[in-house]
Every structure is written in structure tokens, then in C-alpha cells.
């Protein structure tokens, strides 16, 4: 592809490159550069790509895209925002693959993973479509699972994934759209057919600094979509709709002024049921995932599918056959008279929601085992402690993904939220030992919540990932105990 075709949508501050230059590839990591590549110098959080321009040139880069003009005379295109430039040239390089599919994006603090899976299920059942999925639990092309490191991949990888999905026959793509991906331009250059907002609660303040910045990042999605779905039950709903020019369908579990709302809600240990009301239409809905949050997720999934042209009655019928998502209120087989649940809840509201869901089905004690991730929002750590204490009978504080922080220092900040409560707690830094302790002390009727890891089968210590699957830990320890 010629440089002029690759960069036709960029706004350039300065250009010293020949537009007829033939481009052989794109890289934003100098170690990935090959002969004839464009190298995009991005300012990262740990290093600045501009420092590696000489390395990229040495590796064969023929053109540099940068925010600061290089000093060595290499042909370059100077732009105001290299991340945006990377997104736009990635779309061009892969021939705008999303344009041939219906693109659906879901943003919010909690509920994105389950909601996107529900939407995918409805589309497959009702439309018979092959659906691509981009999200926390991995990317999927139909039933094929593709491992991922981020909720939303970097723009170059994202467009490559879209191209693969399009080439393999996907007619829809449903994706979780994180606040990071919006702030860092990873999804720029795409027009979403439908975008949805689930909720906004405290998270990622290590990155966004304030809730206002966090909300502003989320709101960007609704400036790049054809139709929107907004959960009115969240306090930030009006912020998301501010300046919105596209058609919007609002949802609520409580507010009858919403376009689509739930009536006659029933919550059981096996799931939820309600009547979905849209204008004069009243449609029964059942979903085999317990908790009030499942009503919200179901409403969002239904509204998205309605905006995509699927009748409410058909979407609701498909929901009845949907299953839960790995690591979301997932029961671990034990063969014992107590229950172990794995859930990804690693934010205060998510932890509160799952504990409220488990309380009515707990005959004994509700025991919460959790930690907080290192190199992430420190403000939420004592809040998590308070939430665990408020809604649990016993709390075990342990590690999550400590990353480069001292696990004991993280735990001490969590414990600050537990000190002035009456809820008993125990600290065990090693998560495997903590799980063993929970099992050793379980009594009949207890429910043990292993919170924070969910679908993850690893723990990050320092910069390294170590295999750690809580399902395996439970199974192995129960087997060991039974052999004694």
C-alpha cells in the first residue's frame, strides 16, 4: 500500500515523506519493525516511542509517524496525536474491516462481559449469524476462542482481528469497550452501529484520576455510534446522553419512564424473571443467572438487539436459553455440603452486587475471600474492605495480582476498611493458602466467595504471570484431603 493511501485521513503538522512510498507494514514497537515499515512513535506510560526511532530506522523503517520531528533526517509525518494516527492508519491498512459487519459496543464499569455474551447468544439464535466477540474473557470468532491480554486490544491488533472476523464470515462483532481503549484511541476510526452503557462506579482512578475524567472517557463512545442504549438506573446516565445526537433507547429495572423497563421482577437462586415492557408490548423474560444485576444486563442486551432490528419477543425468547459466563457467579463442584463460588468482582459495586445475590441462598455463613490488584486504583482498597465486611459473615483478605507492589502493603490498605467493623477477618497473603484455609474452616451451609480472579487462570507477580486456576486449586486440595 502506498503511503498516501495509508495516511489520507491523517491531519499532518509536517510531512517530509514521499507519498508514493510503498509501505510493507506497520509497527508501534521498534522490535517489530521490518524493511519498508511505518513506525509509529507512541508516548507510553513506561517509555516514549520517540526514543526508539533510531532503532526502528536501523531495523528498516522507511517512514516515521511521530509527535516530535526526529533529528536524523529520516522521512516522517508529524501529527498531534500518534495514538489516533495509529488507529486511523490501522483501519486503512486492513481496508476498514468493520464496515462490512454490524459493530456493537458495550461500555461501563460492570456487566460488560456478561452483556456482550448475552447479545452474542441472541444474535446467534435469532439471526443465525456468525458473531465475533471482543472482551475480557477472550476474543471469539463464532465458537473459536482466541486469547487476549487486554479488554480492548491496541488499535493495530484490533483492526487485524476485525479483518480476520470479516474474512471468516462474521456479520456482527460485539465488543466490550473499556475506558482505557476510548482514552487511548484504540477504537478510534470505527463507527458503531449500536453502543450501550451499563453503569459507572469507582474504578481505574489510577489512570483517569477523577470520576469526571472516567465518565468523560466512557461518553466518547456515544459520539461514534449510530444508535445508543442507556441504563437510566445509573447516576451517570444523563452524562452519557449529554450532547447525544443519535437515536437512544433507555432501560430501567425501576423507572417506568424508560423506553424499556422491567415489571414483576422475581429473583431466585436459579436466576431472574420479569416482564419486559416496551410501549404496548409486554414480554416475559427469564435468564438463568441470579442477581438483580442480571435484570440490568438482560435489559441492556434486549435493548441493543432491538436497536439492531430484532423484535423484543424474539430476543427475549433467546435469552431463556442463555447460560452464565465463566468466572461470573460460577459454582465450583465440591461434592460437599458447602458451596464455593468464583466471581470476577474486583470493584466495590461488583463485590456488593454478588454478595447481595448470594445472601438469600446462604444457609450458613457467607465467607468472602478477596484481594486487590497491585499498580491499580489504591483508593478502592479500603472501600472493598468495608463492602466485604458489611455484606459478609467472615472475610479472608489475601492477594490478587500484586504486580510490582508489595502484597502485604496492598493488604494493609484493604484492612483499613475492616478495622472499625464487627465482622471477623483473617489475613493470609498467599492466595492458595488462603483458599485452603477457607476450605478447612467451611461448615455445613456456608457459601465461600472467591472474588477477584473470575475467569483468570494466572496470578501476576512482578512482571511475570504464574499459572493459578482457582478451580484446580479447589479440586486438588479436596482430592488431597479426601486421601488423608
Tell me, what's the pLDDT at 209? 63
Delimit the domains of the chain by residue range.
3-93, 97-319, 330-482
* CA separation for the pair 165, 158 (Å, rounded): 10
Report the 10 Å Cβ neighbour count for 434: 22
Tell me, what's the pLDDT at 206? 58
* CA separation for the pair 189, 201 (Å, rounded): 27
Which parts of the chain register pLDDT below 70? 149-151, 202-209
Tell me, what's the pLDDT at 46? 77
Tell me, what's the pLDDT at 180? 85
Residues 464-477: tens digit of each pLDDT: 999 999 999 999 99
Tell me, what's the pLDDT at 365? 97
CATH of domain 97-319: 3.40.1190.10
* CA separation for the pair 400, 386 (Å, rounded): 17
CATH class for the region spanning 3-93 = alpha beta
Tell me, what's the pLDDT at 183? 87
* CA separation for the pair 53, 13 (Å, rounded): 18
Second-level CATH architecture of 330-482: Alpha-Beta Complex (3.90)
Tell me, what's the pLDDT at 217? 85
Residue 202: phi and psi, rounded to 5, are -60, 125
Tell me, what's the pLDDT at 318? 98
Amino acid at each position: 500500500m502506498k503511503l498516501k493511501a495509508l495516511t489520507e485521513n491523517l491531519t499532518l503538522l509536517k510531512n517530509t515523506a514521499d507519498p508514493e512510498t510503498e509501505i510493507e507494514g506497520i509497527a508501534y514497537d521498534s522490535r517489530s519493525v521490518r524493511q519498508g515499515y511505518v513506525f509509529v512513535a507512541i508516548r507510553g506510560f513506561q517509555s516514549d516511542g520517540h526514543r526508539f526511532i533510531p532503532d526502528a530506522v536501523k531495523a528498516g523503517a522507511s517512514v516515521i509517524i511521530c509527535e516530535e520531528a526526529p533529528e536524523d533526517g529520516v522521512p516522517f509525518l508529524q501529527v498531534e496525536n500518534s495514538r489516533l494516527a495509529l488507529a486511523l492508519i490501522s483501519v486503512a491498512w486492513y481496508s476498514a474491516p468493520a464496515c462490512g459487519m454490524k459493530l456493537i459496543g458495550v461500555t461501563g464499569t460492570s456487566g460488560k462481559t456478561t452483556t456482550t455474551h448475552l447479545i452474542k447468544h441472541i444474535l446467534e439464535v435469532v439471526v443465525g449469524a456468525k458473531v465475533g466477540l471482543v472482551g475480557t474473557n477472550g476474543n471469539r470468532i463464532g465458537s473459536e476462542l482466541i486469547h487476549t491480554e487486554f479488554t480492548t486490544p491496541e488499535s493495530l491488533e484490533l483492526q487485524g482481528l476485525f479483518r480476520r472476523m470479516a474474512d471468516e464470515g462474521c456479520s456482527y462483532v460485539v465488543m466490550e469497550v473499556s475506558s482505557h481503549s476510548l482514552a487511548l484511541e484504540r477504537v478510534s476510526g470505527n463507527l458503531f452501529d449500536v453502543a450501550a452503557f451499563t453503569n459507572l462506579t469507582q474504578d481505574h482512578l489510577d489512570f483517569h484520576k477523577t470520576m469526571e475524567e472516567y465518565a468523560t472517557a466512557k461518553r466518547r463512545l456515544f459520539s461514534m455510534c449510530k444508535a445508543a442504549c442507556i441504563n437510566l438506573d445509573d447516576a451517570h446516565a444523563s452524562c452519557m446522553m449529554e450532547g447525544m445526537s443519535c437515536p437512544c433507547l433507555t432501560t430501567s429495572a425501576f423507572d417506568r419512564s424508560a423506553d424499556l423497563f422491567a415489571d414483576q421482577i422475581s429473583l431466585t437462586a436459579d436466576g431472574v424473571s420479569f416482564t419486559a415492557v416496551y410501549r404496548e408490548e409486554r414480554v416475559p423474560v427469564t435468564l438463568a443467572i441470579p442477581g438483580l444485576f442480571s435484570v440490568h444486563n438482560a435489559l441492556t442486551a434486549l435493548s441493543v438487539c432491538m436497536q439492531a432490528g430484532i423484535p423484543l419477543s424474539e430476543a427475549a425468547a433467546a435469552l431463556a436459553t442463555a447460560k452464565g459466563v465463566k468466572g461470573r457467579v460460577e459454582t465450583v463442584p465440591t461434592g460437599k455440603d458447602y458451596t464455593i463460588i468464583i466471581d470476577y468482582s474486583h470493584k466495590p459495586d461488583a463485590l456488593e452486587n454478588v454478595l447481595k445475590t448470594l445472601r438469600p441462598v446462604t444457609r450458613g455463613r457467607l465467607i468472602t475471600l478477596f484481594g486487590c490488584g497491585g499498580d491499580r486504583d489504591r483508593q478502592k482498597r479500603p472501600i472493598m474492605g468495608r463492602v466485604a465486611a458489611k455484606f459478609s459473615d467472615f472475610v479472608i483478605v489475601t492477594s490478587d495480582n500484586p504486580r510490582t507492589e508489595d502484597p502485604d502493603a496492598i493488604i494493609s490498605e484493604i484492612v483499613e476498611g475492616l478495622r472499625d467493623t464487627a465482622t471477623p477477618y483473617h489475613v493470609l497473603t498467599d492466595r492458595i493458602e488462603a483458599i485452603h484455609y477457607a476450605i478447612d474452616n467451611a461448615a455445613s451451609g456456608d457459601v465461600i466467595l472467591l472474588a477477584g480472579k473470575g475467569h483468570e487462570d494466572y496470578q501476576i507477580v512482578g512482571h511475570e504471570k504464574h499459572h493459578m486456576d482457582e478451580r484446580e486449586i479447589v479440586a486438588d486440595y479436596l482430592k488431597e484431603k479426601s486421601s488423608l
